Structure 1
Amino acid sequence: MHKIFSSRARSLNGAVAAAILAVCAGVAAPSARANDVIVLNSAEATLSLIDQATHQVVGTIPTGKEPHHLMATPDNKSLIVANSVSNDLMFVDPKTGKVQSRVEGIEDPYQLGFSPDKKWFVTTGLRLDRLDVYHYDAATNGLTLAKRLPLATMPSHMAFTKDGRTVFVTLQVSGEVAAVDLPTQTVLWKMPVGKTPAGLWFTPKEKYLLVGMTGEDDVAVIDWRSRAVVKRIKTGEGAHNFRSLDDGRHVLVSNRLANTISIIDEESLTNVGDIAGLLPGPDDMELTADKRYLWVTFRFAKHVGVIDMATKKLVQTIKVGRSPHGIYFYDRAPITAPNGA
């Protein structure tokens, strides 16, 4: 097995290097506060640091090419930025965005995730039609490649079962969802779900698996145990990614082409309302700790938006870089992200 370690020693003062690069690029150096919001600008190979209180961009630092998704390590001491075209992972300080280290040789990491049991680290290779599965060593943040699993076509988003044994993956071009057994790194099954499936989300107790149908205008409801689509919830064109409302009952789905966000009742499996009046391309979302505001990246508008959840209105936009995608709040850092970002 090929072994790769996220050693801080390999970076040789990554924070200093990032500061030098920032100066050379003519961008602001990152702040040292712990309340900043981190946003990935996929088309500019940068991340923006936004002060959560003032909504001001306080820093911009380089990443690798096409950073799309990000997530915290299980100990929350590092934030991993997946640079899909640079074929590497960049570990940054989740409080400040400063670079800690880089791990090379991670090919095409479009989406990434840790299994809830912390045994596995998985990346989807969107352009390589592959799923890469690594053994994860929590003590060292070490990654040991277990298998590179062909998985056509265009594997995209992921969702893990709570026991950490199975990961579900959407295949955008073939219009399928695949179930992969992690202990054996084998494909258990594939099933067709529709045009361009993307984000995945489990309803409570893992009863159903929801799939954002980016090539359609709905969310597919899958009984994954019987491998059947049991319902389609009409949302808006380009249904893409999910974010829980943290109330035990509702989940949001961003509709990238309709420029809306739909609110889905996870019990009745119905759309109970839409948030409209948004900028083009709503994608990834995050709630503030008090649940009062929803932040959303607008992939096609170079902005991040702030939505007042009491009125369901967009109250502010913040200019960032081109094609903003992943978003992260330090004060909402998850131990794992079983449903993807």
Structure 2
Amino acid sequence: MHRRQFLKTAALTAMAPGFMRAGSALAATSNESVIVLDSGGASITLVDQATRKVKRSFPVGKEPHHLMLLPNGQQLIVADAVGGELNFLNPITGAYEGKLPGIEDPYQIGFSPDRKWFVANCLRLNRVDIYHYDGGHKLQLAKRVPLDTIPSHMAFTADSQTVFVSLQGSDAVAALHLPTQRVLWTMRIGKATAGVWMTPHDEHLLVALTGEDAVIAVDWRRKRIVRRIVTGRAAHNFRSLADHRHVMVSNRLSNTISVLDMQDLRKVEDIRGLRPGPDDMELSADRRWLWTTFRFAREVGVIDMRTRKLVDVIHVGRSPHGIYFHDRAPFYDNLPYAAQRPLPVRSA
């Protein structure tokens, strides 16, 4: 192991007890927070989920973009891309609980379904960093994988063998083999590839084209485009409808959200009348309410999924991006629902 990588691994291991502190209490509360990352304002806004009123905002890092729950469900990770650190929140209340520095340029982050790998897309550095994750307290850098320009979003196969990374500046998608950390292939898809999504049974990879008005369905095993689904201008990011059949994609410039049938590879409908720049989405556990960030409006919206109407708008910080709340519907479609539940919390 090179000296620089050894020092990096040692530093991460030394700081790792703060990575998953056992002191995070997750008592149920009726005052659950919707956690919104204001990437342009270097802050987090907490919204009361029941009243839809802003509770408070507080500064975090320099440019927080994306977030995800730790596999044990105890803490929410907020990736600070420019600050080069991971911040940790209580996933129910949104209370700040600490940080792990020394993670370079974590723009988009993800855990493999088997919880053995932690992947960070380093958007500004044009690479993907792959870490071993022991399921407890340690991250150990396995490899930094150089890629073409602007690696942004990611999706995993259900067997945790492959991660797909969109290369937004190169109009392509790269497939990486996690056990060996090598690039399997790179494939040009279309203008400004962004969100990527795996359909049930890992049948097709869906790729949103922010530079166009479509989602591309890819037969990733044969490296072949099988369908172009016209959605809306600047198709960007995905969120499951939690029925193993439909997925939504936000269209930033059309100010719409399209609902796609993943089995027939077609658009079912558009949700219209939204605010400028719909981006990340989160769906309530009962599938009644869809919350979405509006990047260009400094707002978050709530859509009634029974009527497909925008029923509430909440003013937040500048360039709101990631959004999360604890009582949500299952996120992925290519994994068994049981695999999406948090692992049991271990005692310290």
For the criterion TM > 0.5, the same-fold answer is yes
In 2, Cα distance between the equivalents of 1:104 and 1:259?
A: 36
How far off is 1:7 after superposition? 3.9
Q: 2:268 aligned with 1:272, yes or no?
A: yes
In 2, Cα distance between the equivalents of 1:237 and 1:199?
A: 14
Match of 1:187 in 2: 183
Give CA deviations for 1:126-175 in whole Å, capped at 9, x if unaligned: 111010000002122x1111111101111010001111111000001111
Equivalent residue letter for 1:175: D
In 1, Cα distance between the equivalents of 2:244 and 2:17?
A: 38
Equivalent residue letter for 1:320: V
From 191, 196, 212, the equivalent of 2:208 is: 212
How far off is 1:311 after superposition? 0.9
Q: 2:113 aligned with 1:105, yes or no?
A: no
Give CA deviations for 1:44-86 in whole Å, capped at 9, x if unaligned: 1111111111001112121101100000000010100000000
In 2, Cα distance between the equivalents of 1:298 and 1:244?
A: 18
Give CA deviations for 1:268-298 in whole Å, capped at 9, x if unaligned: 1111110111110000001111111110000
From 315, 320, 328, the equivalent of 2:316 is: 320
Match of 2:234 in 1: 238
Contact 2:285 2:328 in 1 (8 A): yes
Query: Where in structure 1 are there 5+ consecutive unaligned residues?
Result: 16-31
| Counterparts in 2 of 1:33 and 1:233: CA distance versus 1, 3 Å | same
Q: 2:259 aligned with 1:263, yes or no?
A: yes
Q: Percent identity?
A: 58
In 2, Cα distance between the equivalents of 1:253 and 1:145?
A: 33
How far off is 1:105 after superposition? 1.0
Contact 1:33 1:96 in 2 (8 A): no
Equivalent residue letter for 1:93: N
Equivalent residue letter for 1:192: R
Match of 1:229 in 2: 225
| Counterparts in 2 of 1:9 and 1:81: CA distance versus 1, 3 Å | closer
Match of 1:303 in 2: 299
SS of equivalent residue, structure 2 residue 164: strand
Match of 2:340 in 1: none
Contact 1:80 1:90 in 2 (8 A): yes
In 1, Cα distance between the equivalents of 2:90 and 2:182?
A: 34
Q: 2:86 aligned with 1:89, yes or no?
A: yes
Q: How does 1:14-29 map to 2 (within 5 A)?
A: none
In 2, Cα distance between the equivalents of 1:114 and 1:10?
A: 14
From 151, 154, 158, the equivalent of 2:154 is: 158
Match of 1:251 in 2: 247
Equivalent residue letter for 1:298: F
In 2, Cα distance between the equivalents of 1:154 and 1:338?
A: 26
How far off is 1:237 after superposition? 0.5
What's the TM-score, normalizing by structure 2?
Answer: 0.88
Q: 2:173 aligned with 1:168, yes or no?
A: no
Contact 1:114 1:336 in 2 (8 A): no
Match of 1:126 in 2: 123
Contact 2:244 2:333 in 1 (8 A): no
SS of equivalent residue, structure 1 residue 53: coil
Equivalent residue letter for 1:65: K
SS of equivalent residue, structure 1 residue 332: coil
How far off is 1:100 after superposition? 1.7
Give CA deviations for 1:215-272 in whole Å, capped at 9, x if unaligned: 0000000000000111100000000000111122111000001110001011111111
SS of equivalent residue, structure 2 residue 201: helix
SS of equivalent residue, structure 1 residue 205: helix
SS of equivalent residue, structure 2 residue 327: helix
How far off is 1:8 after superposition? 5.2
From 42, 45, 52, the equivalent of 1:45 is: 42
Contact 2:232 2:251 in 1 (8 A): yes
| Counterparts in 2 of 1:164 and 1:11: CA distance versus 1, 3 Å | closer
How far off is 1:338 after superposition? 8.3
How far off is 1:34 after superposition? 5.4
| Counterparts in 2 of 1:94 and 1:11: CA distance versus 1, 3 Å | closer
Q: 2:89 aligned with 1:60, yes or no?
A: no
SS of equivalent residue, structure 1 residue 331: coil
Deviates more, 1:92-101 or 1:323-332: 92-101
Contact 2:199 2:333 in 1 (8 A): no
How far off is 1:125 after superposition? 0.8
